[in-house]
Amino acid sequence: MAEGQWSPGRKEADADEFRPVLDIVEPARQRRLTVLLRLLLLIPHFIVLFVLHIAAFFTVIVGWFAALVLGRLPDPVFRFLTGVLGYDMRVSASDMLLIDRYPPFALTPPADYPVQIEVRPTPLNRLAVLFRAFLMIPAAIVQSLAVYGWWALAFVWWLITLCLGRMPRPLFEATAATLRYRMRFSAYVMMLTPAYPKGLFGDDDLAVVPERSRSATRPLVLSSAAKWLVVLFLVLGLAGHVISSVTASTSDDIDDTYDTRLMGS
Read out DSSP for 172-213? Answer: HHHHHHHHHHHHHHHHHHTTS-SSPP--TT---GGG--TT--
Sign, CA dihedral 211-215-217-223, equals positive
User: Looking at residue 9, what is its pLDDT?
Assistant: 45
* Count of H-run helices and E-run strands, the chain: 10, 2
User: Looking at residue 251, what is its pLDDT?
Assistant: 66
Torsion, CA 41, CA 44, CA 47, CA 52, rounded to 10: -110
* φ, ψ dihedrals at 201, nearest 5°: -100, 25
What span, in angstroms and rounded, lies between the C-alpha atoms of 163 and 165? Answer: 6
Each residue's pLDDT tens digit in the chain (265 positions)? Answer: 444 444 444 444 444 578 999 999 999 899 999 999 999 999 999 999 999 999 999 999 999 999 999 999 999 999 999 999 999 999 999 999 999 999 999 999 999 999 999 999 999 999 999 999 999 999 999 999 999 999 999 999 999 999 999 999 999 999 999 999 999 999 999 999 999 999 999 987 655 554 454 577 888 999 999 999 999 999 999 998 888 778 766 666 566 555 556 566 5
Those residues with Cβ within 8 angstroms of residue 120's Cβ, 6 or more apart along the chain or in another chain: 18, 193
User: Looking at residue 204, what is its pLDDT?
Assistant: 77
Q: What is the pTM of this model?
A: 0.88
User: Looking at residue 217, what is its pLDDT?
Assistant: 80
Q: Which residues of 93-112 are buried (b: 16+ CB within 10 A; e: fewer)?
A: bbbbbbbbbebeeeeebeee
